[in-house]
Amino acid sequence: MNQDKVRLKRVLFEQFCYILNAGCTYTGRDMKAAHKDMGVQQGDMNRVVENLQAAMKIEGVKFTIQNRFLAKLAPMKRDVVSR
């Protein structure tokens, strides 16, 4: 996959900040357009969630707060997972 990692990091930060109502503007594409023709599967989505959980654990984010954040991301599944 050929991605601009700097841009990806920026838009992920913006998106998470926006989702958490932390005063950010998200400048990236919508999830359906961003993941079109990528063939993202449920297992891919599961790995993203696992990586986010591991990162939040390392940062000392409480489990209940992790769950609230992941619940805000969950609706994106229908626009990201294509098969």
Total-model pTM: 0.81
Q: How confident is the model at residue 82 (pLDDT cuts 50, 70, 90)?
A: confident
What token pair was written down for 48?
């993203």
Looking at residue 16, its pLDDT comes to 93
Give 32's Cβ-side CA count (13 Å radius): 3
Looking at residue 37, its pLDDT comes to 86
CB-count burial class (<10 Å; 0-12, 13-18, 19+) for 55:
exposed
- pLDDT tens-digit series, residues 1-50: 556 889 889 999 999 999 999 999 999 999 998 888 888 999 999 999 99
